[in-house]
Amino acid sequence: MTQNLTPFAGDDIDADPHRDYGDRVLAVEPGGNEPVPADQRHGSPRGLFWTWTAPNLEFATIFVGVLSVLYFGLSFWQALAAMALGNLLGAAAHFVLSARGPLHGAPQMVLGRLGFGYRGNMLPSAFMTVMCGIGWFATNSISGAFALSTLFGVEPVLALLLVVAIQTVLAFFGHNFVQRFERLVAPVLAVVFVVAAVFVFGDADLGAPATAGGGGVGGFLLTVGAAFGYTAGWAPYAADYTRYLPVTVSRVRTGLYAAGGLFISTTALMSVGAASVTIGDPASDNPADAFTATLPSLVANLTLLAIAVGAIAANTINLYSGAMAFVTMGFRFSVGLQRALVTVGCGIVGFLVAWWALADAAESYEAFLLVVAYWIGPWLGVMFADQWLRRGRPVANLLYDPKYSNWGGFASFVVALVVSVLLFGNQTLFVGLVARAVPAFGDIAFFIGFVVAGVLYLALCARKIRSESPDRVGKFEPMGDRGE
């Protein structure tokens, strides 16, 4: 079904902020969250493979595998199965959401207004800005800082300052520059990590048993949750990087390339992390140093450099999409100023959070991964249920209409989030009622949240969506949220 892709009322092309941007790389993206017009679309789905491979070729991915064996008590093969399952579920969500980008030409959090309404969508947009733009930013900055600290022998805080400065500048340029950077560094990072993996697997004891007293169903489900939290953490970004593709591209190919890059990169590097734990446990407060300690000197140095570059690749995407989510919240001042404030603001706050977490990176990371999964599960439940109910129905007229509301979606999200965490959350910071009574469950709050949110949404919103008249299509021209 053809969607209305007109970004502004009237035919004045000078009002289009995307004019002359096209596929230019060395240019600051001029637009905000407006739908991308057809004459500015470019690229092919194939490039998405590298876009979603590069940001996962970093130590934060490897460390999920380390957690699964060292902290959750699984054997290598148990960990691999749990991580592959979590990654597959996260990649499947990414497939569905990425495929919608070319059809609507709008960022992911703008598409979220269908399920939450214009105002209700501010809550998940705020979660996205804070937890992904700052939380993930801090997490990846830590890994990059530790790598540079080991490589050059400088204090971690100085390395952290350098990493934060570089990735903040890169993200400020916007969509095309971010995409090109990811595609350039992905093959180089892949080669370095493949070489490192050869040495890791050559020394690893893949048949080593699970830790005594650890593992079990609880450890398996905790690993699934951590892997899902990592991989599905990219889901709120999905359409941000497919909205510039021509509307005629295959939705299946778009989803497959995006999900394929995500699943292959995460599963491969997490397995390397799990294998590295079976080699030994070098005494070091620096996780990057511990990981590379058994590698030959040249390979270790190249790997440390790749870890730092991979962290920058990941955070370039985190900052850009965090800024897009902030713009979607609808604050009424210029988009250029909003993006600048969020990019720099997330850089500063993310630096402070990362500095605080340097003291105990492992425990902070475990807790963070599960917290991400807690809100992503209910959010996906609402998004998928809404997409199912709206299949075949036009929606372009609703995306930028400030009068459009869907409080049933907002309620479904909040209820599912609260119920799932209070009952099934299981981590250092908080243990839910069911998890405390039956600890063998591990942490399945994200699954419960997804199911509860989806069921509630179907029950609360089906009649509303069926009653929305398709005659409204075209009567509201999507203006975007320029805030001018």
Q: Where are the domains of the chain?
A: 48-359
Give the distance, in angstroms, between the CA of residue 118 and the centroid of all CA atoms in the same chain.
22
Q: What are the two backbone dihedrals, phi and then psi, of residue 117, each rounded to the nearest 5 degrees?
A: 85, 165
Distances (CA, A) of 53 to 7, 169, 222, 305, 324: 31, 21, 24, 17, 21
User: Averaged over 227-243, what is the pLDDT?
Assistant: 91
Is 471 or 208 the better-scoring residue by pLDDT? 208
Burial 32-63 (b: 16+ CB within 10 A, else e): bbbbbbeebbebebebbbbbbbbbbbbbbbbb
Instruction: Identify whether the C-beta of residue 47 lies closer than 8 Å to the C-beta of residue 258.
Output: no
Determine which of 127-136, 288-297, 467-476 has the lowest per-residue pLDDT on average: 467-476
Determine which of 271-280, 322-331, 398-407 has the lowest per-residue pLDDT on average: 322-331
Instruction: Identify whether the C-beta of residue 330 lies closer than 8 Å to the C-beta of residue 481.
Output: yes
Please check the confidence at residue 476 and state whether its pLDDT lies above 50.
Answer: no
pLDDT tier for residue 11 given thresholds of 50, 70 and 90: very low
pLDDT tier for residue 96 given thresholds of 50, 70 and 90: very high
Q: What is the pTM of this model?
A: 0.82
Is 463 or 211 the better-scoring residue by pLDDT? 463
Rounded CA separation 382/388 (Å): 10
CA angle 329, 409, 239 (to 5 degrees): 55
Look up the CATH number of domain 48-359: 1.10.4160.10
What per-residue confidence (pLDDT) applies to 13?
32
Determine which of 142-146, 166-170, 258-262 has the lowest per-residue pLDDT on average: 166-170
Query: pLDDT (tens digit, 9 = 90+) per residue, 14-46?
Result: 345 555 555 554 555 555 678 888 888 888 999
Rounded CA separation 79/223 (Å): 7
Rounded CA separation 195/68 (Å): 23
Mean pLDDT computed over every residue of the chain: 81
Please check the confidence at residue 475 and state whether its pLDDT lies above 50.
Answer: no
